[in-house]
Amino acid sequence: MSSQPDLEELQRRLGYQFKVPERLLLALTHRSHGNQNNERLEFLGDSIVNMVIAEYLYLHFEKAREGQLSRLRARMVKGVTLAEIGREFELGKYLRLGSGELKSGGFRRESILADAVESVIGAIYLDSDFHTCREQVLRWFDLRLKKLDLQDTQKDPKTRLQEYLQSRQFPLPLYEVISVDGEAHAQTFNVSCALPSLDRRTSGIGSSRRIAEQEAARNALKQLGVEND
């Protein structure tokens, strides 16, 4: 959040000391701050974290099928999880943002925090090597990885609802945003899920459109008697 973040303190939080601190500074620089920003590092870090998590899952879940491994990885590398890690490091305090993002609370925004975590991973890779970077990623994800089991590979509610309808040759559900409340950095979405062929409609509320749609789909599955609470 500060234009001159305390990189020493952040490096202690991360558990990694940069040989070239400017790499960390670049990883913390959002595109709203200027042309020299973390977008390229984010691209690199995204690939690295996907590879590291994929390797871990492949080695630790020997009986898992490809689809199960893909869903476990998706759970680990999704924006919500990455943003949680960013908050644990209090990364928002160190981000370099443009004035507009600062005013709108961009340092708390899930997508910005998630992108910054990937950027820092990319910066660590460039500053060291793949082995060192892998150790950092696995340490950051350690508790979450240890909690995983194959029960976590169940498909999300939107996918389950879609497959239920398709198996019966019904039209796909229609999602619509009914309202969006709150400030830009802390919005609440109200979304409806309509099943025209079944004359049913449910709703869901969440901190993002995606979360609200999943909740609406879950409620539709319950209403259809496909799933219980």
The residues carrying an active-site annotation are: 46, 118
For the chain, the straight-line distance linking the first and the last C-alpha, in angstroms and rounded, comes to 41
Q: Identify the burial level of 223 via C-beta atoms within 10 angstroms of its C-beta, where 0-12 means exposed, 13-18 middle and 19 or more buried.
A: middle
Angle, vertex CA 129, rays to CA 123 and CA 135, nearest 5: 85
Q: Whole-angstrom Cα distance, residue 87 to residue 77?
A: 15
The residues near 3 (Cβ < 8 Å, ≥ 6 apart) are 96
- Neighbour tally for 143: CB within 10 Å: 8
Dihedral, 190, 92, 133, 17 alpha carbons, nearest 10: -170
Q: For residues 21 and 36, give the distance between their C-alpha atoms in angstroms, rounded to a whole number.
A: 15
- As beta bridge partners, residue 201 has 194
HEC letters along 59-89: HHCCCCCHHHHHHHHHHHHCHHHHHHHHHHC
Tell me: is residue 118 an annotated ligand-binding position: yes
The verdict on whether residue 215 carries a ligand-binding annotation is no
Please tell me whether residue 228 adopts helix, strand or coil conformation. coil
Indicate the annotated binding residues: 42, 115, 118
Indicate the annotated binding residues for Mg(2+): 42, 115, 118
